[in-house]
Amino acid sequence: MGDLELLLPGEADVLIPTLVEELIAVEMWKQKVFPVLCRLEDFKPQNTFPIYMVLHHEASIINLLETVFFHKEVCESAEDTVLDLVDYCHRKLTLLVARSGRGGPPEEEESQYSTPIQELQKQAELMEFEIALKALSVLRYITDCVDSLSLSTLNRMLTTHNLPCLLVELLEHSPWRRQEGGKLQQFEGGRWQTVAPSEQQKLSKLDGQVWIALYNLLLNPEARARYCLTSFAKGQLLKLRAFLTDILLDQLPNLADLQGFLAHLALTETQLPKKDLVLEQIPEIWERLERDNRGKWQAIAKHQLRHIFSPSEQDLRLQARRWAETYRLDVLEAVTPERPRCAFCSAEASKRCSRCQNEWYCCRECQVKHWEKHGKACVPAAQGDRAK
């Protein structure tokens, strides 16, 4: 076991902000440096593995954050960087909606006519799609913590980005679903899979994440009080009524509350946009990185081409060994809270819900007492996992 396992639980307070900053740094590199790198005349790498690992690094971090943000205490430890993470998720989901009209990501299959760079760009596009889906899960977990979020974060989610309306667009377009050869396909487990006719009415895990995020943002009293229901927002939200069928409500019963909210909304007068003077925090990682490197992107690309992406055989072996150390599974244990806690009584837990594998319990009695609440999320989560 590595040294990371010796970290105290409180040190996750340092690791989470570090991971968020690293996530955004790689995102910016992909947008600002990678395209310049691919256009350089002398960019003819014999081995694209070092560049692929940089691209893969963002996917690794968002996977890790998806795992640890399931625990609400981790969201609290993110502190100010949760603002940056909300902005990151918003950027990814906006791109996901924008590309929904162009179909899903390319199939991951090699062509004998493709150059290594073209293959790398195709892999980057597929990876970007998967990262956006993970960002959706992270955002849903952040909405689970609405009660403990700062006012600045709530304002960012509800006013600056109007996340409820963005989530409605995601449900409308469902970019993780497509028709191919007359058959319905769904993106699960990193690839497109055909959905059997008997399974097509089942709520997918991704659809479930969107519905739960909407539920959290629209029905939490604190969030609801701060969300301005303009005529545009009202029109967008009322589109949800067409999706709230009896079949969906059977699978996610707590959406009946959302259905009631929409029925009331239909009879409610709209509000004018609020013009309150609010002193708030703003995310700073993206702006700082962009400000510090503005005008330097080409120089950075040329420097990295010479010193990082043209390694000798020996350097390549050393890098591979270092990456193998970096991506050990025991890194998860360093940022996950010390022990799982019972979802009902908060005691240390050793038993996990066998159906969805998400909630932990200290005993059978607590699981039974918690079922009335947990059952609403357990069934769709388990169905999504089985589909994989």
Written as one string, the DSSP assignment of 59-102 is HHHHHHHHHHTTSHHHHHHTTTHHHHHHHHHHHHHHHHHHHGGG
Is residue 101 assigned to a domain?
Answer: yes
Is residue 305 assigned to a domain?
Answer: no
Q: What is the pTM of this model?
A: 0.78
Question: Which residue, of 258, 274, 289, is where some domain finishes?
Answer: 289
Question: Which residue, of 289, 306, 330, is where some domain finishes?
Answer: 289
Looking at every residue in the chain, the average pLDDT score rounds to: 82
Is residue 331 assigned to a domain?
Answer: no
Output the DSSP codes for 33-62: THHHHHH-TT---S--HHHHHHHHHHHHHH
Q: Both tokens of residue 20? A: 């968020």
Does residue 226 sit in the same domain as residue 352?
no
Q: What total number of domains does the chain contain?
A: 2
Does residue 373 sit in the same domain as residue 227?
no
Is residue 272 assigned to a domain?
Answer: yes
Output the DSSP codes for 280-313: -----HHHHHHHHHTT-HHHHHHHHHHHTSS--H
At 33-86, the pLDDT tens digits run 999 988 888 877 777 778 888 888 999 999 999 988 888 888 877 778 899 999
What's CA 288's distance to the chain center, in Å?
Answer: 23
At 242-293, the pLDDT tens digits run 999 999 999 999 999 999 999 999 998 887 766 555 566 788 899 999 999 9
Calculate the CA dihedral of residues 253, 257, 259, 260 and round it to 10 degrees: 140
Does residue 100 sit in the same domain as residue 183?
yes
Does residue 200 sit in the same domain as residue 99?
yes
Is residue 328 assigned to a domain?
Answer: no
Does residue 245 sit in the same domain as residue 176?
yes
Does residue 31 sit in the same domain as residue 119?
yes
Residue-number span of the structural domain to which 121 is assigned: 11-289
Among the listed residues 108, 120, 99, the one whose alpha carbon sits nearest the alpha carbon of residue 48: 120
